[in-house]
């Protein structure tokens, strides 16, 4: 039973020892090489992942072919396409390893079974989703009221570990600006 996963869960719900064990035993350790895809746009998402180490980028190609980064997932983050997982529809997202990484993965069947078997699992993901929702709302507001330079500086100071692992191009795609402009921001 993995200690990091255990701690992560405990932040959001109170599991008994047996519940924790029952929950964790469905996760299997998988390795991803740098640049390898955990999910590709068009595929159906049949799993959920929890990052033990390494880093992933979650992004999508829009109609115009630009790549938009939704977020980065390093150690202690969860990975999945909620939409595709829920409806078993083709995913709009790509999830790609930015470096060699280790992920604990649970498949969809097991997760659905756990929702049924352990009510506390419903609570766990309810709380996780509500917290994530708040974070997305805040990010949208910040995109409206802060300049690109402010957003860049905030990101670097909030996530120094992630900032050091990603290229400027990926950073720009996360901030919603061109990489040329990011280069000009950094110069000053």
**x/- string (CB under 7 A) for DNA, residues 148-187?**
xx-----------------xxxx-----xxxxxxxxx-xx
In sequence order, the 6+-apart residues with CB closer than 8 A to the CB of 188 are 149
* Between 28 and 126, CB nearer to its own copies: 126
Q: Please, are residues 140 and 147 in contact by the beta-carbon 8 Å criterion? A: no
* Minimum gap (Å) between residue 31 Cβ and its own copies: 27
10 binds its own copies (CB under 8 A): no
- Mind giving me the DSSP string for 78-120? EE--HHHHHHT-B-S-EEEESSSEEEEEEEHHHHHHHHHH-HH
Q: Please, are residues 95 and 78 in contact by the beta-carbon 8 Å criterion? A: no
* Minimum gap (Å) between residue 168 Cβ and DNA: 4
Q: Is the dihedral of CA 117, 90, 166, 185 positive or negative?
A: negative
* Minimum gap (Å) between residue 95 Cβ and DNA: 16
Residues 183 and 77: their CA atoms lie apart, in Å, by 28
154 binds its own copies (CB under 8 A): no
Residues within the interface to its own copies (CB under 8 A): 60, 62-64, 66, 68, 70, 82-83, 86, 115, 119, 122-123, 125-127, 129-134, 136-137, 139-141, 143-145, 176
Residues within the interface to DNA (CB under 7 A): 34-35, 147-149, 167-170, 176-184, 186-187
């Amino acid at each position: 039973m993995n200690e990091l996963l255990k701690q992560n869960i405990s932040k959001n719900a109170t599991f008994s020892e047996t519940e924790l064990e029952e929950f964790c035993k469905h996760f299997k350790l998988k390795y991803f090489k740098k640049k390898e895809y955990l999910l590709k746009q068009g595929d159906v998402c049949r799993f959920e992942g929890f990052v033990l180490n390494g880093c992933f980028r979650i992004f999508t190609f829009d109609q115009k072919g630009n790549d938009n980064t939704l977020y980065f997932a390093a150690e202690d983050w969860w990975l999945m396409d909620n939409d595709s997982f829920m409806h078993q529809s083709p995913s709009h997202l790509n999830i790609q390893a930015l470096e060699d990484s280790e992920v604990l993965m649970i498949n969809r069947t097991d997760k659905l079974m756990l929702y049924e078997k352990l009510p506390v699992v419903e609570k766990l993901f309810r709380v996780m989703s509500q917290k994530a929702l708040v974070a997305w709302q805040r990010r949208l507001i910040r995109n409206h009221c802060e300049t690109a330079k402010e957003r860049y500086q905030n990101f670097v100071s909030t996530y120094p570990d992630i900032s050091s692992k990603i290229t400027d191009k990926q950073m720009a795609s996360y901030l919603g600006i061109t990489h040329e402009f990011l280069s000009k921001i950094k110069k000053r």
